Structure 1
Amino acid sequence: MPSVLLLAALTACGQAEGATGGGPEVTELRYQGSPGAVTFPELAADLGYLGDVKLTWVGNTTSGPQDIQSAATGQTDFGGAFNGAVIKLRAVGAPIKAVIGYYGSDDKSYNGYYVRDDSPIRTAHDLIGKKIGVNTLGAHHEAVIKEYLRREGLTPGEIEQVQLVVIPPAGTEQALRQGRLDAGTLGGVLKDKALERGGLRPLFTDVQLFGPFTAGSVVLREDFIARNPTTTRVFVEAYAKAIHWTQTRPREEVVDRFRQIIARRGRSEDSTAVAYWKSSGVTGTGGVIAGKEFQTWIDWLGREGEIEPGDVKLADLYTNVFNPYAKGNAS
């Protein structure tokens, strides 16, 4: 959405002033979910951390960029995406602020970039002129792939010859095995199931490139934060405690809780995928955001020419002020 239209939508969709007082200013938060999965706010609600604040599910998101766009334009109250996508949306004038990290990569949960066992592709240079499947453009996977190619010595002209093909994640494995893709992005349960079937090998992984890192953040509109500081604090604290719960509980307990939540919410979903859950992937305790988690992508977007120097300031992108783990005072 062009920045002028985006800002107009933000003005039109701004929320009314909340009531003053000790309790939450607003007690209903609209959000998008993910089929067959449990988000941290849904877990927080189930654990009782949200108190009087209720969640209203308005549907499922199609991608991180779409999710934060919906939050920025007032269709939902919060959304999450890859930090690079947050930076780009902020750069075009969207008054959003990241308040907590919510997904990432570690040695248990990561994204891999796979080829068939019999593929001649062995190096980054072998990808020139080839097709790589990704779930969406302008987000996590595009950034990781291009950073891999750059680190391996490809010139900007050579990188442009590597074709990124948007394909639903559920279709990536089949397209790869049928030869419609030369390489494909796989993560989570889709990666684990594909590797169980054999015949694929990793070319590289995001955690190999960057080490363990939190990759995405949840954003709120700045006007929402200003008008609803108590609701914001309740929401972020509950979110942080839900992340910390998964970081400190046995995997089996987390998976069992996820299954119960999916069964109770009655959306006619398949809960098979949660059995493959291994970790949150979030590096910071309770989702505390580190500046480098944004600075890495500010630098990358600048090198790519997608933002100009001064388009965004690190201090404007995120805050940890509502996160109880930022000062170690969570109870």
Structure 2
Amino acid sequence: MTTIHPSERRRSLQRLFPMVAAALTLTAAAPATAQELEKTELNVAILPTMDYVPVVIAIEDGLFKDEGLDVTYQVTTAPASLNGVLGGTYDFAGVTWFAFLTAYNRGLPLVAASELDRGTPGYATIAVKGDSPVKTPEDLIGKKVGVLSTNGACDLTLNDVLLKDGKDYQSIEYVALGVPELVSTLMTGGIDAACLPEPLRTPAMADNDLRDVLDLFTGPYEDMPIVGYSTTTRFRDQNPNTFAAVQRAMTKALEVAHTDPDRSREVLSVYTRVGPETAKTAVLPTYPTGGGIGDLSVVADLMDQLDVIDGPVKVPEQ
């Protein structure tokens, strides 16, 4: 896998990715039969957030089965998801692009089969209790903020907002928590604020006296790629037909999620605790269509600005 230096060639990816998507469409035009697949039974990891709607649609609507794949999933946490796919516990897992690029730049053998979603206003916010003295992002300096994973969209976006305003964000303590613990820990005072993605955000705001202090995916962060559906380069190289079949199924599932928001909300009750009525009002992310991987330079640029890793962040050619 070759790499591009972000300061010199990153913007060329905006022209590259549409061509990659077209190439994937051509090479994946004829589905492999079950006999041609190197591996037909897959174990994948998901989190109980809306990022994973396309994966569940692909399972529930038989899109994986149409490709000869028998896919089962396990609901887990962000760290366990990444460690599990690298360690072979899972064949595929959703990995945030921040974690993906961090792992890739450290030489870990990750490869993305598909995008899952991109950010939209209202999809994820940093919230506090109604009686909290915190009124603005600046007020979070020196406080504890609950996130699903560190060095992710929640903490890096908040840090960047503060950095652009000339504020020192480094005294913020980020606490990684599972989805079920975010609201309860906030309400009991274990943290001062919590990053709440959908479908957690809608019921949390309705059932508790909470208010937002930062809407993550607005302004320069709107449409930011959030999660990629990933595996290891070893799995891809040993199972090229299976990898291609997963890509085809995910392309179809993303099309369903994009064009049928009602279906996206329906599947939430399959893998989360959100009921149908709550799901009707949850804010959806953008589910990209067309195959391939979108422009990751916005993610890499943000990581560069905040010195997430040593040296400039390199972006893989997908």
Instruction: Report the residue type matching 1:115 in the other structure.
Output: V
- Give the whole-Å Cα distance in 2 for the aligned partners of 1:244 and 1:206: 25
- Output the aligned Cα RMSD: 3.0
Residue 62 of structure 1, aligned match among 77, 98, 120: 77
Q: 1:313 to 1:127 in 2, by over 3 A?
A: closer
Shift of residue 23 of structure 1? 2.4
- Give the whole-Å Cα distance in 1 for the aligned partners of 2:230 and 2:128: 34
For the residue of structure 2 that corresponds to 1:159, the secondary structure is coil
* Bigger Cα displacement from structure 2, 82-91 vs 182-191: 182-191
Asked whether 1:170 is paired with 2:184, we answer: no
For the residue of structure 2 that corresponds to 1:186, the secondary structure is strand
- Give the TM-score normalised by the residue count of structure 1: 0.74
Q: Which residue of 1 aligns with 2:314?
A: 313
Q: Which residue of 2 aligns with 1:24?
A: 37
- Give the whole-Å Cα distance in 2 for the aligned partners of 1:126 and 1:181: 14
For the residue of structure 2 that corresponds to 1:55, the secondary structure is strand
Shift of residue 48 of structure 1? 2.2
Q: 1:165 to 1:69 in 2, by over 3 A?
A: closer
Shift of residue 237 of structure 1? 1.0
The question of whether the paired residues in 2 share the 8 Å contact of 1:122 and 1:203 is answered with: yes
Asked whether 1:53 is paired with 2:69, we answer: yes
Q: Which residue of 2 aligns with 1:89?
A: 103
Q: Which residue of 2 aligns with 1:276?
A: 279
1:300-325 residue CA offsets vs partner (Å, 9 max, x unmatched): 33333332335x53234xx2xxxxxx
Q: 1:182 to 1:91 in 2, by over 3 A?
A: same
1:257-311 residue CA offsets vs partner (Å, 9 max, x unmatched): 555x56xxxxxx85527842646513521564222xx22232233333332335x
Counterparts of 1:88-127 in structure 2, within 5 Å, are: 88-107=102-121, 110-127=123-140
1:176-205 residue CA offsets vs partner (Å, 9 max, x unmatched): 344443222112132111222353221111
The question of whether the paired residues in 2 share the 8 Å contact of 1:101 and 1:288 is answered with: yes
Instruction: Report the residue type matching 1:211 in the other structure.
Output: E
- Give the whole-Å Cα distance in 1 for the aligned partners of 2:304 and 2:211: 32
Q: 1:280 to 1:44 in 2, by over 3 A?
A: farther
Q: 1:178 to 1:287 in 2, by over 3 A?
A: farther
Q: Which residue of 2 aligns with 1:72?
A: 86
Asked whether 1:151 is paired with 2:151, we answer: no
Structure 1 spans left out of the alignment, 5+ residues: 1-19, 263-268, 320-331
Highest RCO, 1 vs 2 (Cα 8 Å, sep ≥ 6): 2
Shift of residue 120 of structure 1? 2.7
Shift of residue 83 of structure 1? 0.3
For the residue of structure 2 that corresponds to 1:173, the secondary structure is helix
Instruction: Report the residue type matching 1:25 in the other structure.
Output: E
The question of whether the paired residues in 1 share the 8 Å contact of 2:34 and 2:40 is answered with: no
- Give the whole-Å Cα distance in 1 for the aligned partners of 2:35 and 2:196: 46
The question of whether the paired residues in 1 share the 8 Å contact of 2:118 and 2:287 is answered with: yes
Structure 2 spans left out of the alignment, 5+ residues: 1-32
